Structure 1
């Protein structure tokens, strides 16, 4: 069992390089299934979700060639199956992107029901299914697999209106429609940066997608995608997490390799709280020396404040003067980490989708446990700011989405270690 040992209370100073976007990579890698040729993907983050995506493709018959730590070549010309390995696919939420990619290229897909983080609530894929059926596929769920197939072997373009703004559904339907016959229009589409990144990747391979980043995306189906080279955008949420860490601990950090425009929604809230942020071409200088001020945060689809930053900003607000309100409007149950922050002395009350955060003078180190990826990031931030020693377990959730988080924080002066301990068998020997 791996856990993080953190001795908190040290301000962060230095520079941190942001990796490729996790939420883009876990869609772009499955999208390589649509390419009848070799695609070279650069700026891939070294995280466990990406490793799983590549293993799934390899299992389907793709040839994966690692060029260096952050670049791979993927050749999907000899795919021999449209049924994913059950054990691999069920370990990652983004496995549902394999449905759109396989369905778009081969007219059929069998993908295990996705896993990944469990927020204690429902993360439905009904909008994905609605899109696939509108394009002419029959979708069923049986034996732990989602099965989708067309009678003719090729989807037909159509108008798809999403009942709710869904990032996953927007990306999945986009992939399915790339080689559909005719024109597909996705209305009420999500606008997140990684949606634009996926569209740019597909276009660089020969697709014809227009309007990504707006609420209406138009896709002219093409006969085939032929290959090419593409670099994934920097990770907005990783950058925001390090910015939040500086806000919580104090200090000054230059956040490098970012697209500042993508950070506006996060920067604005931190500035409201008394954090100084200086923007340059592809960096942000983040500084906090004074006291943190209260603010209210409501998560919204892009360009609003991202749900994937909600736990991290809440961890910072536990140390702000006054009472803050955090409202979660994207996922129904994302406050499972609150009890862990309370172990550290935080004063938080949750009522349905709203958390009332009363700032305290300091947090105290404690044994805490990550329940999902972003909750784990919030606990790291809290532990870095706290007085004393914290032990964070279930860190495999954190490593799903953060490349080299321990070494990056150590380079900023944080006292954090990753240690291996044997699992403890709690069953007593009887007799």
Structure 2
């Protein structure tokens, strides 16, 4: 699959952001903790949602798609996750906590996903072990077993989002209280806690360094709408600024966008916040800036590639330091093919701004790299062909259609 971008068009208009991919995936995994009819609203039709829905269906859960809603009828979990589905997406590992809590035993293959560096699952397993599970790793599979999970104090060596979520889900049905220290602060963690609490769970402190989970005997069905996708919103913000456009992005929580907004303003863009929307425009040259990716509330690693594309045409040299993943500059080589001047030294990239990028044949290496190359193509002279664009479908619904409505000239083949 490929996306063909004819560059040079200024983006203008209004675009609507979907519910958060990174919030929906753990929420869908957490439906396994309940019994009965669960409805999740405003679900985007993206590849990652399909994979985890197929995985949950494969476990024996009835899954129905009704317009932009997913309906789950959860009763018994009949199977363990299949390797063919788990290997396609790292977030599939999030079903481990709920299955362990519900069934007392789970066996799952080591997860796949984007090739953006080592993302070990040791913190997940450390948490399960602390809750009383016996862990066994063999032949590429992980087995966790516990007749009863017991609340515990768990300290995370790194504030891992996935580990915080997985342990939180396992602890929701454990006996007693669990404390996760050095927990991830991301809004998606808060949203998962709100979802579990809506089902009758008792989680407090989500969004702070210490999350407390008081285990309950059962969780009940619920109708729930996840938070907006801050990374999708950020991508449209960058696209607007990169093209010198003027775009209103609806269905946004501005508080979640602070790090992105601050860097855009620093670069010379105009950012206006409303209660649930953000307008981005740019009328002057792009100023060079310094960015260091950090866990929330720091600058998100999922926006690093898009900013690198944007800063490729800045008036001066910018510096980006990637502190979260060690292999997340793979889009750099593709931007060089478009005429960018970028040098990488370890985890730091120095971007010397050029007057104009030039269209070229490039290849998406992961989800956000694919989005970044489309952004680069929007600003480039001539035609850019983004190959392997299936990565983009993992996280953006109707990406091409939405950009075209803003005035872009893009074809998806």
The interval holding the TM-score normalised by the smaller chain is over 0.9
> Matched residue of 1:146: which SS?
strand
Shift of 1:123: 1.0
CA contact (8 A) 1:26 1:50 kept: yes
2-side partners of 1:140 and 1:288: how far apart?
54
Shift of 1:145: 2.0
- Render the CA deviation track for 1:257-284: whole Å, top value 9, x for unaligned: 1111111110000000010011111111
Residue in 2 aligned with 1:97?
94
CA contact (8 A) 1:265 1:304 kept: yes
Shift of 1:76: 1.4
Residue in 1 aligned with 2:371?
377
Shift of 1:141: 2.2
Aligned: 1:77 with 2:75: yes
Shift of 1:142: 2.2
- Render the CA deviation track for 1:192-246: whole Å, top value 9, x for unaligned: 0100000000100111000000010000000010111110110000000010111
Shift of 1:78: 2.8
Which residues in structure 2 correspond to 1:138-153 (within 5 Å)? Answer: 138-150=134-146, 152=147
> Matched residue of 1:350: which SS?
strand
CA contact (8 A) 1:25 1:45 kept: no
> Matched residue of 2:135: which SS?
strand
> Matched residue of 2:268: which SS?
coil
The number of aligned residues is 413
Aligned: 1:88 with 2:82: no
2-side partners of 1:125 and 1:15: how far apart?
40
1-side partners of 2:35 and 2:298: how far apart?
37
Residue in 1 aligned with 2:409?
415
Shift of 1:143: 3.0
> Matched residue of 2:217: which SS?
coil
Shift of 1:163: 0.6
1-side partners of 2:70 and 2:372: how far apart?
31
2-side partners of 1:191 and 1:175: how far apart?
16
> Matched residue of 2:137: which SS?
strand
Compute the RMSD of aligned alpha carbons.
0.8
Which residues in structure 2 correspond to 1:136-285 (within 5 Å)? Answer: 136-150=132-146, 152=147, 154-285=148-279
Alignment partner of 1:326 out of 320, 323, 328:
320
CA contact (8 A) 1:37 1:225 kept: no
Unaligned 5+ runs, structure 2: none
Structure 1 segments (4+ residues) deviating >3 Å? none
Residue in 2 aligned with 1:132?
128
Residue in 2 aligned with 1:36?
35
2-side partners of 1:237 and 1:188: how far apart?
23
2-side partners of 1:148 and 1:45: how far apart?
32
Residue in 1 aligned with 2:399?
405
Shift of 1:75: 1.4
> Matched residue of 1:241: which SS?
helix
TM-score (normalizing by structure 1): 0.95
2-side partners of 1:38 and 1:140: how far apart?
33
2-side partners of 1:79 and 1:103: how far apart?
11
Residue in 2 aligned with 1:57?
56
Unaligned 5+ runs, structure 1: 420-431
Residue in 1 aligned with 2:16?
17
Residue in 2 aligned with 1:429?
none
Shift of 1:106: 1.3
Residue in 2 aligned with 1:118?
115
1-side partners of 2:15 and 2:271: how far apart?
15
> Matched residue of 1:324: which SS?
strand
- Render the CA deviation track for 1:156-195: whole Å, top value 9, x for unaligned: 1000000111111111110110000100000000100100
CA contact (8 A) 1:103 1:149 kept: yes
Residue in 2 aligned with 1:366?
360
1-side partners of 2:57 and 2:398: how far apart?
24
- Render the CA deviation track for 1:325-347: whole Å, top value 9, x for unaligned: 10111111100110000000101
CA contact (8 A) 2:77 2:103 kept: no
